[in-house]
Structure 1
């Protein structure tokens, strides 16, 4: 199934966002999944103030990852990100509406460059 992961990482360093994207990607690939796209949205304001781990956040680094994997890989990603204190918020949404490979052909994304 096709999933979309949107994650907000605390705004202290872009490197943390890259590490979390790499961790999620490694979990997906090691469980037989395929990463369809990875996009860095950069540092943006949150829709509302978020309190987590005795800290208040008003902005964060966003990244979006689309991946094709089984339910178990999706659960592992959710559990790992949910326990990581660097993650402010995240959401995993199922994108597959039964269209099969034709529906997935338009899924885009780009990989992070060297310097940002």
Structure 2
């Protein structure tokens, strides 16, 4: 099955982000999974202030990891990330489980910075 991990790490050191991403990827690989790719989106403001591990955050460093693994491996990655005090938030989304659905999905996830909020508002008559 193909999964996408969207993770938000406390801002500060890029080395912390690399270490968390590397550990999550190593956990997938040790369990027989495959990491398709990582994407670093950088640091930007959170939608609302968040409190985690007795600290309040308004910004977070975002990265995405796409990986192929079984359900138990995905659960293990979630459990490990949930215990890391450097994590602000994360989500694991299943992108598909059939070869036809996932064969063309790339490892890199581009940020859509060409679209503005005005593109979402229909023109008035």
Instruction: Give the deviation of 1:53 after TM superposition.
Output: 1.2
Which residues of 2 match residues 11-26 of structure 1 at below 5 A?
Answer: 11-26=11-26
Q: How many residues align?
A: 109
Give the TM-score of the pair, scaled to structure 1.
0.88
Verify the 8 A CA contact 2:44 2:59 in the aligned structure 1: yes
The Cα RMSD (Å) is: 1.5
What CA deviation, in whole Å up to 9, does each residue of 1:64-116 have, x standing for no partner? 00000011110110000000000000000100053x15633232318xxxxxx
Partner of 1:71: 71
Q: Secondary structure at the match of 2:96?
A: coil
| Runs of 4+ deviating beyond 2 Å | 101-104
Counterpart CA distance in 2 for 1:85 and 1:78 is: 13
Counterpart CA distance in 2 for 1:23 and 1:108 is: 17
Verify the 8 A CA contact 2:7 2:62 in the aligned structure 1: yes
Mind listing any 5+ residue stretches in structure 2 that lack a counterpart? 110-125
Give the TM-score of the pair, scaled to structure 2.
0.82
Mind listing any 5+ residue stretches in structure 1 that lack a counterpart? 111-116
Partner of 1:105: 104
Structure 1 pair 97–33 and aligned structure 2 pair: CA distance change class (3 A): closer
Task: State the structure with more CA Rg.
Answer: 2
What CA deviation, in whole Å up to 9, does each residue of 1:18-66 have, x standing for no partner? 0000000000000000011110001111111100111100011110000
Larger deviation, residues 100-109 vs 53-62? 100-109
Verify the 8 A CA contact 2:65 2:107 in the aligned structure 1: no
